[in-house]
A = this chain, B = another copy of it.
Amino acid sequence: MERIERHVSHGGSQEVWKHASSTVGGDMKFGIYLPEAAMRGQKCPVLYWLSGLTCTEQNFITKAGVQRYAAEHRIIVVAPDTSPRGSDVPDSPDYDLGQGAGFYVNATREPWAKHFRMYDYVVSELPALVEAGFAASEARSISGHSMGGHGALVVALRNPGRYRSVSAFSPIVAPSQVPWGEKALTAYLGDDREGWNQYDAVALVGSARERLPLLVEQGGGDEFLNAQLRPELLQAACAKAGQPLTLNVREGYDHSYYFIASFIGEHMAFHAKALA
């Protein structure tokens, strides 16, 4: 592991690390914010943040303003890149497939299967690295935006006991039923729609074995709301499954980081309560 960026921020340290990932078969980068207590070696809980289409590890750490709240609540925040990168990693000319668009799945189809294993990377390799290399406790929560909101929901729902809470901003709640998801899941997993269910929060919530604190933030003016996001499908699935859900629809807010920055403080307080 090599530290490639370090900036003092709100009394802690915002860093970017690069490492050779055995899971994705190439280098990965992640941002990590260490509150001052963690820099002194005191173990702190960890929030994992999964970013959306086209993002790298930079977007969330530069635009969301999370550091203020991470410092206040003494939470480490880890934000990985959204896919492996590089000239030896397959790509597509489309923004919604390939590099920058890993969709947090383990791909089974060529040419993606070798590198596009972001599900395992986020669930296993990344937390192991973080918990071995930093003053991180094993108290974990997870959140994300759009494609990363989908990732956070799926990862939390499939791994009972591993996370204390889950939240999402503008998540793709039912990738099996919307164009972004249908395109990506077809490419990465093939045409068998049954196999898609393990990466579809709406499909997973019915069989989930624990009742995690679940918070979803959605902009009412989001340009992708009706075609790609469809939070009402998650609401219906949660109601049917008896999974409590707080869904905040915020009038006028769009899909951008201005929306995330406006409510990230509330999400950090939500996770801090579960991580305490």
The DSSP consensus for interface residues of chain A is: mixed
CB-based contact A65/B62 at 8 Å: no
* A260 CB to nearest chain B CB (Å): 10
Which segment, of A8-16, A102-110, A184-192, faces chain B? A8-16
Q: Determine if A259 is an interface residue (Cβ-Cβ < 8 Å).
A: yes
Task: List the number of copies, as a whole number.
Answer: 2
The answer, yes or no, to whether A270 is at the interface (CB within 8 Å) is no
The distance in angstroms between the C-alpha atoms of A65 and B10, with both chains bound, is 12
Are A8 and B253 interface neighbours, CB within 8 A? yes
Tell me which residues from 204 to 242 in chain A have a Cβ below 8 Å from any Cβ of chain B.
219, 221
By the criterion CB–CB under 8 Å, are A7 and B258 in contact?
yes
In Å, the complex CA distance between A176 and B219 comes to 49
A103 to B88: give the CA distance in the assembly, Å.
43
Please name all residues of chain B whose beta carbon is closer than 8 Å to the beta carbon of A63 when the two chains form the complex. Answer: 62-63
Q: How far apart are A33's CB and chain B's nearest CB, in angstroms?
A: 10
* Residue A262 interfacial (CB < 8 Å): yes
Q: Is residue A96 within 8 Å, beta carbon to beta carbon, of the partner chain?
A: no
Contact yes or no, B67 A258, CB < 8 A: yes
Alpha-carbon distance A28/B103, docked complex (angstroms): 39
Q: Which of B9, B11, B257, B262 contacts A10 (CB 8 A)?
A: B262
> In the docked arrangement, what's the CA distance between A41 and B68, Å?
31
Chain B residues with CB under 8 Å of A9's CB are: 258-259, 261-262
* Cα of A259 to Cα of B257 in the assembled complex, Å: 19
Contact A68 B65 (CB under 8 A): yes
B7 touches A254 (CB 8 A): yes
Query: Which residues of the other chain, B, contact A261 by a CB distance below 8 angstroms?
Result: 9-10, 65, 67-68
Q: How far apart sit A265 and B71, CA to CA, in the bound complex (Å)?
A: 15
How would residues 40 to 73 of chain A score, 1 for a CB under 8 Å from any chain B CB and 0 otherwise?
0000000000000000000000110101100000
A64 vs chain B, min Cβ distance (A): 9
Shortest Cβ distance from residue A233 to the other chain B in the assembled complex, whole angstroms: 24
Partner of A8, one of B7, B62, B68, B258: B258
Min CB–CB distance A252 → chain B (angstroms): 4
Q: List the B side residues contacting A257 at CB < 8 Å.
A: 62
Chain B nearest CB from A44 CB (Å) reads: 19
Q: A7-B256, A62-B63, A62-B257 given; name 4 further pairs at CB < 8 Å.
A: A7-B254, A7-B259, A8-B219, A8-B250
